[in-house]
Structure 1
């Protein structure tokens, strides 16, 4: 139970966060609408624009199909083998690409599949003349599968592991063949989550920026977001950028509407009850197939990561760390990441507090319920209006005031805040709601509220999820290239921008070393955020 003052305070914080997010997202959209829309409309219906749209949707569809198709046998093999040495580490390995800065993953893939990579070197020895190209559509597909196959496999594995233990007892007693087990048990469980998983991956691939920027290979392989960036950064063609920006918003809105009609994938793990024991897949052929699938998937994921480490150690790491360029980029990156992390936590807490205040009302009116729904949707606005579109609007709006780079650090920090907000909300919301249910009534009965309740009751319990959310938001900001792409310059250089600039100037040795350093920093933040959870689990 909340006091009247706490309810008023919670709603006030929610209104402030809603106003701030709406203003930051709405202002650039208004700026885009007011900037020579007649010319922008003519640019919308051009062969170039529709070619970019077709390629965006085509590569997203292919990437989604390949990611899900390859994830299905991996999830089935891991589900059939619940116990074998190293299984836990393989599943943890599948979580690594999802937390890895995209630019670093791209460099790792270049190290394996690039012109001088391991794969082409082996094929050259076999007499083939570099048949694998990492650039263009093939490279984009390869990179998207690398990042999204683990996500799909984990979600499918969770669905298979939630199947009741009785299913496997019944299938064994009926003597069902492997094909029958797949048809009547495994496939229906997987199919329930495949549409949601596919929709999520399609959204990620359709709004992909860094991978396409690094691996696109020119105008023939360019997505909407990269075309917006090129229109402003290289061509300075605002009408074309505006036309592409509204086309991007329309595409993401349509994808979100379709995703909303799918059942959301749930990664909550096995159901409670009796321990699941499977009796199928004990033949030699099944064991061989499962081992081969798991080995290939593990190799596919681990080779680019190993390439990053190997290539990074070949660089002069001490020289890079002590260089003026690195120190300047590190200071800028950490300042932006710290600001983004704090702002994300404060905004998330404000939204959660407002929703709790409304839920605590005895009879919330229609306006209060609508406000709660609006707050929930506000945290996902960045999915509707991607960072490049936000950056385009702010760039055009601030350009008449002079040098845009003066405002760039604050803009990048807020854009990174919006990017991290959906993920931070997913961490904090269940933790805060569970804590309030356990301690709310007791605190009210004891008359503990305000700062005393925050210090004595809330912080000791919520410190770990807050640390996890904060470290994740900082890591996401540190590894992001999209928000800073429009504003990157000698005055505003972040670590990802420094890596990209070294790669663009063909200083790949420095780029590899900087990528390793950035990856270690982001990994260290991830470990910091989950350290308390591991300690708690051990206790």
Structure 2
């Protein structure tokens, strides 16, 4: 019956593309997973209903252990840093908070190179230890994997917990001060009980699916993750059955982490305040100021020093780069732009359609990693075409899928906001379908579209996942070229390639983000 269809559903923006996008995304995620499941359980494949080998169980244990340790250290260190930022107002505070978001768009391989420059065998730390006559330390193995994960996830944990502190109304702090009640026990601990478990599980999930860190800093029997074991099974052992079995295990671990993170999500119970700036009476005193300043300085130094070393070593290394690096940079830009276009088209279509099915399709790629998707696609295409021939198209598709949840998460609420503000006026003017999209929605969505495009482009530029499975020398992207230079111990050239990668990634991010924010209808 027509009466059962809401007027906005008939008169609103085009919804058919959203159904197509949801179907395509679901197929691109579920079909590779189906190929993985069939190969993992099929006969005579090397993973054919066979039990996991002792080395596989060791990889599973190490994956869970390093993810748990990395998440715990990230949260434990983020608590005092976020508390210090919440309690202090100082010149440059906004820049420090912005810095906390930089590692998320920073190419992983570049950050690893920076960490090696500080903590590696020839890094600043070992040089200082040698000058003092102390034994040198090694970053390779589990210490390097955990250190790199903390580097990437400490800023994320800090931003999440800082939002928790800022969500506590100023009136609660005023009430605690008037009652001379302990702020930590009354306000901060309850906030951390609500925010920290979800943040821990999110970081745990990110560490479960981290590949480039394990590839560059891990390895060996004691520091092999499930992702790295999948890569080794396909790239070196050519055992697709074993890779499929490990990929199925990886999917199960990710699904368990996603389910747990949703189960522990606790909505804010603070209520609304008047929006006053919080004056923290408990933060007065010289000792408190010194302690907060020390935590902020240590966190900023931990993030800035490796990046500064990349810049310092990368400038002279630009002259040492082989010509193939520039070709790889061109391929990276082309792959990033193509994957961004696909991710934005799918995210916008899903946001325009709305509803639970669209939201589920947009979040579906979170349950799998790039290497699992790459393994499934490898199994699908191998009987028909050489994986080398489809390396770049497969990379574009996988990068678009992995960027989709972030883009959809940005666009869906923006579409709802535009419709809530101007939807009735558009209805009265007869704006429907594509005209409504062109005249009403796209001008109102330029800022989130620009930010989503910048984020998707930066994530794709720094990806060293599925391309490592498929690519030969003629298909290598800039992160893969940089990794191969590091493997050949051409560290100066690798530093130059890393500086080029950072410049391209952050430049494209800034270009899209600024274009969205400053565009005019």
TM class by shorter-chain length? over 0.9
Structure 2 match to 1:19? 23
1:220 alignment partner, SS class: coil
Corresponding position of 1:67: 74
Counterpart CA distance in 1 for 2:350 and 2:74 is 34
Q: Structure 1 residue 28 and structure 2 residue 27: aligned?
A: no
| CA–CA distance in structure 2, aligned partners of residues 308 and 125 of structure 1 | 23
Map residues 267-416 of structure 1 onto 2, 5 A cutoff.
272-317=274-319, 320=321, 324-355=323-354, 372-416=355-399
Structure 2 SS opposite 1:392: helix
Structure 2 partner of 1:150 = 155
2:70 and 2:150 in contact (8 A); partners too? yes
Q: CA separation in 1, counterparts of 2:94 and 2:366?
A: 32
Hey, what does 1:368 align to over in structure 2?
A: none
Show the counterpart of 1:114.
Answer: 120
53, 69, 78: which one aligns with 1:46: 53
Q: TM-score, normalised by structure 2?
A: 0.93
CA contact 1:197–1:265 (8 Å) conserved in 2 = no
Offset from partner CA, 1:388-444 (integer Å, 9 cap, x none)? 111112112222224211122111111001100010011111111111111111011
Deviations 1:184-230 (A, max 9, x none): 22111122100110010000011111111111042320111110001
CA distance in 2, matches of 1:17, 1:103: 32
2:170, 2:273 within 8 Å by CA — same for their partners in 1? no
Are residues 1:77 and 2:79 paired? no
Aligned to 1:512: 495
Partner of residue 444 from structure 1, selected from 416, 423, 427: 427
Note if contact 2:453-2:509 (Cα within 8 Å) is conserved in structure 1: no
Q: 1:456 to 1:402 in 2, by over 3 A?
A: closer
Aligned to 1:50, the other structure's residue is in SS state helix
Give runs of aligned pairs for residues 131-146 of structure 1, distance below 5 A: 132-146=137-151
TM-score by length of 1: 0.90
Q: Which residue is equivalent to 2:485?
A: 502
Instruction: List per-residue Cα deviations over 1:115-162 (Å, max 9, x = no partner).
Output: 0101111111111121x2211111111111111111111111111112
Q: Distance in 1 between matches of 2:258 and 2:401?
A: 17
- Checking the alignment, whether the CA contact within 8 Å between 2:317 and 2:495 is kept in structure 1 is yes
- Structure 1 position 3, deviation (Å): 6.6
Q: Does the 8 Å CA contact 1:464/1:529 hold for their aligned counterparts? A: no
**Kept after mapping to 2: 8 A contact 1:109/1:304:** yes
Task: Classify the secondary structure of the residue corresponding to 1:274.
Answer: coil
* 1:369 match: none
Q: Are residue 453 (structure 1) and residue 459 (structure 2) matched?
A: no
SS of residue in 2 equivalent to 1:198: helix
Shifted more, 71-80 versus 520-529: the winner is 520-529
Q: How many pairs align?
A: 507
Equivalent position of 1:488 in the other structure: 471
8 Å CA contact 1:162–1:271 kept in 2: the answer is no
Q: Which residue of 1 aligns with 2:223?
A: 221
How does 1:254-273 map onto structure 2 within 5 Å? 254-263=256-265, 272-273=274-275
Displacement of 1:293 after TM fit? Answer: 1.2
Work out whether 1:194 is the aligned partner of 2:200. no
- Alpha-carbon RMSD across the aligned residues, in angstroms, is 2.0
Deviation at 1:62, TM superposition (A): 0.5
**1:42 Cα offset (Å):** 4.9
Deviation at 1:449, TM superposition (A): 2.8
- 1:182 deviates by 1.5
1:105 lines up with 2:111 in the alignment: yes
Residue ranges of structure 2 left out of the alignment (5+ in a row): 1-6
Report which stretch shifted further, 235-244 or 451-460: 451-460
Corresponding residue number in structure 1 for 2:246: 244
Deviations 1:16-50 (A, max 9, x none): 11221222223223333443723415543322221
Q: Secondary structure at the match of 1:491?
A: helix
Rounded to whole Å, the distance in 1 between the matches of 2:316 and 2:275 is 51
**Stretches of structure 1 lacking an aligned partner (at least 5 in a row):** 356-371
CA distance change for structure 1 residues 415 and 285 in 2, over 3 Å: closer, same or farther? Answer: same
Aligned-partner Cα distance in 2 for 1:226–1:272: 51
Contact 2:450 2:516 in 1 (8 A): no
Verify the 8 A CA contact 2:55 2:221 in the aligned structure 1.
no
Q: Is the 8 A contact 2:426 2:436 kept in 1?
A: yes
Identify if the C-alpha distance between structure 1 residues 432 and 284 changes in structure 2 by more than 3 Å, giving closer, same or farther. same
SS in 2 for 1:316: helix
Q: Please, which moves more after superposition, 54-63 or 483-492?
A: 483-492
